[in-house]
Homo-oligomer: A and B are copies of this chain.
Amino acid sequence: MKLHEHEAKEVFAKAGIPVPRSFLALDAAAASQAATTIGFPCVLKSQVLMGGRGKAGLIRLVKDAPAAQEAALELFASPHGVHKLLVEEAVAIEREIYLSITVDPVAAEAVVLACAQGGVEIEELAATAPEKIFRESVSLSEGFLPFRARNLCMSLGLSGDLAKQAAAILDALWKCFRANDAELVEINPLFVTKSGTLIAGDGKLLIDDSSLFRQAGREAGRDYYDSDAAFEAAKEGIPYLQFDGDISLMCAGAGLTTVVYDLIVDEGGTVANYLEFGGPNYRKAVRAMELCLKNDPKVILIVTFGTIARADVMAEGITDAIARLKPKCPIIPCIRGTGEDKAVEMLRAAGLEPLFDTEEAVRKAVALAKGGYR
């Protein structure tokens, strides 16, 4: 779960990391008022989860009240679905720093990254000038010891009071990382102000989805998803991605579903949605098919090869879903695994033609979709 900037900054501020003074505005009027309260110049920042907000024009520096109002109206009307603006004081910046903490799957440690050049895409920098990125590996059982913060500060060329501030921010950032079960915490940029203080210009916090159960109060609302269907699927615990093609996938297994997606694209087809109803969801066929039908697909393609998810149970769910939802589009089932024989019987009884080869099923789906069924 990726938090919005204002949420991440709230977490950071509570941990003692300095953030700019700000208000969250839910409409243009509130944004204008907040801007006037904060004073000019100030910054209007669209609270959307996409990256590259600056380049997309979703962050605006405004110098007076009319400009603030105009910018706010524009932003709320943007096609990127802006529902909240963070109105923030403009900071007099000397330079920018990059700080983040993420995980290193090979070393089984956390990694604290720092770069004296903030505001840039760290991955780009990693590719072009890796020597500018400094790292400290931190074992979770050892924790983030002060000497590591000092090492990073020295590498960044910070000394004296700035080094102390940076060390305190790194320590607080580590606490945020651990306490929030984060995949990533990032301050990019961390401003060095003209008055010699450090303040978080942006805030990113990705909470590990598998840890959400113990992150009290964290629940992803509608504005964390790019479609109603994705939001509804998430509430059911059904992995779902929204696309705008012709074929709805209703498959089991993350790897297999991904490969079916690959094969459809290879065959020149397009995907309406990615959906997994395998694993713990294999009894949710009705709900899964409902989600697919919302996309008005040309074909529903069902591919499974189950282990825990028994083929016969899935087939039963599918025939049940067809009976209830009466989909008008063709359904192509390719259901293998435990209980396969029984599954085949049930599917045939429901008037479907079971296939046993994934590539064949994909080809048929693409052909049907292209054939312009309906």
Contacts and interface: CB of A to CB of B under 8 A. Distances in A.
Interface string A137-153: 00001100000000000
Contacts of A141: 141-142
Contacts of A142: 141
A141 to B, nearest CB: 4
A362 B142 CA distance: 49
A137 to B, nearest CB: 15
Nearest to A139: B141
Nearest to A141: B141
A142 B142 CA distance: 9
A71 B34 CA distance: 66
Interface string A90-116: 000000000000000000000000000
A223 to B, nearest CB: 36
A100 to B, nearest CB: 24
A141 B141 CA distance: 5
Interface in A140-189: 141-142
Nearest to A143: B141
Nearest to A140: B141
A141 B143 CA distance: 9
A211 B123 CA distance: 43
A228 B265 CA distance: 86
A138 to B, nearest CB: 12
A285 to B, nearest CB: 36
A197 B141 CA distance: 34
A185 to B, nearest CB: 22
A142 B141 CA distance: 6
A228 B141 CA distance: 44
Interface string A246-271: 00000000000000000000000000
A361 B142 CA distance: 50
- Give 2 nearest A-B pairs by CB, closest first: A141-B141, A141-B142
2 contacts: A141-B141, A141-B142
